[in-house]
Amino acid sequence: MTTLNRRAVLTGTVAVAGSAMLGSRPAFAQAYPQRTVRLIVPYAAGGGTDVFSRLLAQQIEREFGQTLIIDNRAGGARVIGTQAVATAQPDGYTIGMVDSAFVTNPGLLKDRLPYDTRKDFVPVSLLSRTQLVLCVHPSSPFKSAKELVAFGKANPGKLTFASAGIGTGIHLAGEQFRQVAGIEVVIVPYRGGAPALADFLSGKTDFTFGAVPTIKPHIEGGKARGLGVTRGRAPQLPDIPSMEEIGFGSVDSASEMGLIVPAATPAAIVEKLQQISAKAVKDPAFSKALLERGFQPIGTTTAEFRAHVDREIDKWIRIIAAGGIKPE
């Protein structure tokens, strides 16, 4: 065989192999998943993140054609479950649900985190947001956020804020509001959301933030007065203005949930997970069911979610440092 013929054969072989490889990519994505997929939720069963995860799992199983099981890994400020995702095989059969602790923990825990939030995961899609409501007791003299802030500026340290505990979403929402408003308040840290809400509803603290599904029945029952909602008006509480409308638009704390996978997960699997999960939350019937439970459907691209995670990490690092917040 001449040198020219050998080159032609070799070139043809490489071309065929390359075509086979290119052709295998969509087939690889279409074949996934071929067995049960595990969704790690870094909370105990029954909480908001767990409820959303179970609803989503039921929805996307239809597209998967495979079972999606929930694996609750609570504890360690959501670090235990999230680390389990970071160290899992990057094959698409272990995925993770994260909430806002995913972006606040880098500022709170710093080098105590056993993983690098930016490098050790692929953020697949931001799927849901639960808005927060700035509230006062119905007996409060404050009829608006501006009245509350005006009192706080005139009386430094006189206002009390009910926090669900140091570093929790409710605490950080209060700290963000305090910094944006430029007021000094006494943040009262309770051991959980239930005791914080109970004391607020009994009038023992001046104000708090409440997640829409939690605080909605109390507002409708006349036990709390909503002054503003983060991230736009809430469909479930349409009569309460947004924080943007009342001049505090940079107070944007909310409980957000999204899917992540280990960093080395193949791009074809990430793309399929993103498409299926985003499609699920945008389904009209499922979207309506989520809204009824206080979840605002979103469904972003992977690039959008990654950019969002980066912005949120940077934001919370600044807020936590400015507030001198240190976890217990």
Q: How far apart are CA 185 and CA 182, in angstroms?
A: 10
- Tell me what pLDDT residue 327 has: 86
Task: Give the residue among 182, 135, 133 at the shortest CA–CA distance from 156.
Answer: 182
Are the C-beta atoms of residues 278 and 257 closer than 8 Å to each other?
no
What is the pTM for the complete model shown? 0.89
Q: What is the pLDDT of residues 68-87, one digit of tens each?
A: 999 999 998 899 999 999 99
- Tell me what pLDDT residue 261 has: 98
CA atoms within 13 A on the CB side of 154: 6
- Tell me what pLDDT residue 200 has: 98
Q: Where are the beta strands (DSSP E) in the chain?
A: 37-41, 68-72, 94-98, 121-136, 159-163, 185-189, 207-211, 225-229, 254-262, 296-297
Q: Does the pLDDT of residue 3 top 60, yes or no?
A: no
Q: What integer is the mean pLDDT of 15-27?
A: 43
Dihedral-angle region of residue 262 (phi above 0 means left; psi in -120 to 50 means alpha; beta otherwise): beta
Domains (ranges, CATH) in the chain?
Answer: 35-129+254-323 (3.40.190.150), 131-229 (3.40.190.10)
- Tell me what pLDDT residue 286 has: 96
Dihedral-angle region of residue 192 (phi above 0 means left; psi in -120 to 50 means alpha; beta otherwise): left
User: Which pLDDT band holds residue 30 (cuts at 50, 70, 90)?
Assistant: low
Residue type for position 247 = G
Q: How far apart are CA 25 and CA 39, in angstroms?
A: 24
CA angle 81, 82, 83 (to 5 degrees): 90
Task: Give the residue among 120, 125, 54 at the shortest CA–CA distance from 289.
Answer: 54
Dihedral-angle region of residue 101 (phi above 0 means left; psi in -120 to 50 means alpha; beta otherwise): alpha
- Give the gyration radius of the chain's Cα atoms: 24
Q: Does the pLDDT of residue 247 top 60, yes or no?
A: yes
